[in-house]
C-alpha cells in the first residue's frame, strides 16, 4: 500500500485523491512491466532496435514522473497533466509506427479510463477530444506515411467517444452517490452534535439539581442538629430545675 499511495497518508475526506494516486501508481507499474515485456519480445525476435530504444525511454519517463509524484506533492495536478500528455503522445506514436493488423491501437481504448482518474475534474473530457483531434492531425500530416486509413481513424474516434460517454454517465452516478453519502453524513454529524449538546445540557441541569438537593439536605441536617442541641439544652435545664 505504501507504493500505490505514493508514500502519503490520506484522511477520510481524501478518498478520491487516494484513488487517483492508487490508479496512477498501478498504471506506472503495469506500464513498466508492459514495456519490459516489449523489450524482451523485440530482443528475442531481433526486431528493430528503435522499438527497444522507445521502450527504454518510456520506462525512464515513467520512473522520473513517479519520483516527482512522491517528492513534488504540491504539484499533483501538474504531474497528472504530464502523464496525460505522455500517454497522448504515446498513443499517437502507436498509430505512426504500427499497422491496423498489429492491433496496437487497442491501447487507445484505455485512454478514457486513464484520464478519468488522472484528471479528476471535468477537463478529462477535453483530453479525450484532444486525443481524437491529434489522431486526425497525425493522419493528415504529410511528413510520415500512416498505415491507418481515415476510416480506421474515424472508427477509433467513434469507439473512444462511446467509451467516454459511458464513463461520463458512470462518473455522474458515482458523483451523485458520493454527494448523497456526504449529505447523509453531514446530517448524521449534525444530529449527533445536537444530541451531544442536549445530553450535555441535561447533564448540567441534573448536576445543578443534585447540587441544590445536597444543599437542601445539608441545611435540613444542620437545622435538625441545631434543634436537637436546643432540646438537649432544655432537657438539661429542666433536670437541673427538678434537682433544685
Examine residue 212 and state whether it is found in any structural domain, yes or no: no
Q: Which of 9-18, 134-143, 229-238 has the highest mean pLDDT?
A: 134-143
Does residue 13 surpass a pLDDT of 70? no
Q: What is the pLDDT of residues 195-244, one digit of tens each?
A: 999 999 898 889 988 888 888 888 888 888 778 777 777 777 766 766 66
Please report whether residue 6 resides in a domain. Answer: no
Whether residue 68 is contained in a domain is answered as yes
The answer as to whether 108 is a domain residue is yes
Under the banding of pLDDT at 50, 70 and 90, the label for residue 148 is: very high
- At 42-55, the pLDDT tens digits run 778 766 676 677 77
Instruction: Name the domain count of the chain.
Output: 1
Answer whether residue 205 is part of any domain. Answer: no
Tell me the average pLDDT of the chain.
Answer: 81
Return the higher-pLDDT residue of 24 and 202: 202
Task: Annotate the chain with three-state secondary structure.
Answer: CCCCCCCCCCCHHHHHHHHHHHHHHHHHHHHHHHHHHHHHHHHHCCCCHHHHHHHHHHHHHHHHHHHHHHHCHHHHHHHHHHHHHHHHHHHHHHHHHCCHHHCHHHHHHHHHHHHHHHCCCCHHHHHHHHHHHHHHHHHHCCCCCCCCCHHHHHHHHHHHHHHHHHHHHHHHHHHHHHHHHHHHHHHHHHHHHHHHHHHHHHHHHHHHHHHHHHHHHHHHHHHHHHHHHHHHHHHHHHHHHHHC
pLDDT band at 154 (very low <50, low <70, confident <90, very high): very high
- Residue span of the structural domain in which 131 resides: 12-189
Residue 197 is assigned to a structural domain of this protein: no
- Residue 199 inside a domain? The answer is no
pLDDT at 47: 64
- Residue 65 resides in a domain: yes
Amino acid at each position: 500500500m505504501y507504493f500505490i499511495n505514493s508514500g502519503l497518508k490520506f484522511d477520510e475526506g481524501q478518498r478520491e485523491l487516494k484513488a487517483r494516486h492508487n490508479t496512477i501508481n498501478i498504471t506506472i507499474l503495469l506500464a513498466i512491466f508492459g514495456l519490459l515485456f516489449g523489450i524482451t519480445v523485440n530482443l528475442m525476435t531481433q526486431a528493430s532496435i528503435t522499438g527497444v530504444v522507445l521502450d527504454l525511454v518510456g520506462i525512464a519517463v515513467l520512473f522520473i514522473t513517479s519520483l516527482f509524484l512522491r517528492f513534488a506533492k504540491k504539484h499533483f495536478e501538474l504531474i497528472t497533466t504530464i502523464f496525460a500528455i505522455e500517454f497522448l503522445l504515446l498513443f499517437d506514436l502507436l498509430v505512426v509506427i504500427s499497422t491496423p493488423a498489429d492491433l496496437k491501437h487497442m491501447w487507445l481504448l484505455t485512454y478514457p479510463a486513464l484520464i478519468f482518474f488522472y484528471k479528476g475534474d471535468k477537463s478529462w473530457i477535453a483530453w479525450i477530444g484532444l486525443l481524437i483531434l491529434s489522431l486526425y492531425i497525425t493522419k493528415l500530416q504529410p511528413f510520415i506515411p500512416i498505415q491507418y486509413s481515415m476510416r480506421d481513424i474515424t472508427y477509433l474516434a467513434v469507439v473512444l467517444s462511446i467509451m467516454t460517454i459511458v464513463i461520463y454517465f458512470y462518473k455522474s452516478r458515482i458523483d451523485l452517490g458520493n454527494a448523497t453519502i456526504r449529505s447523509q453524513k453531514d446530517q448524521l454529524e449534525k444530529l449527533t452534535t445536537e444530541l451531544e449538546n442536549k445530553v450535555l445540557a441535561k447533564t448540567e441541569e441534573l448536576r445543578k439539581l443534585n447540587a441544590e438537593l445536597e444543599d437542601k439536605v445539608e441545611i435540613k441536617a444542620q437545622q435538625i442538629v441545631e434543634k436537637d442541641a436546643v432540646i438537649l439544652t432544655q432537657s438539661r435545664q429542666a433536670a437541673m430545675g427538678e434537682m433544685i
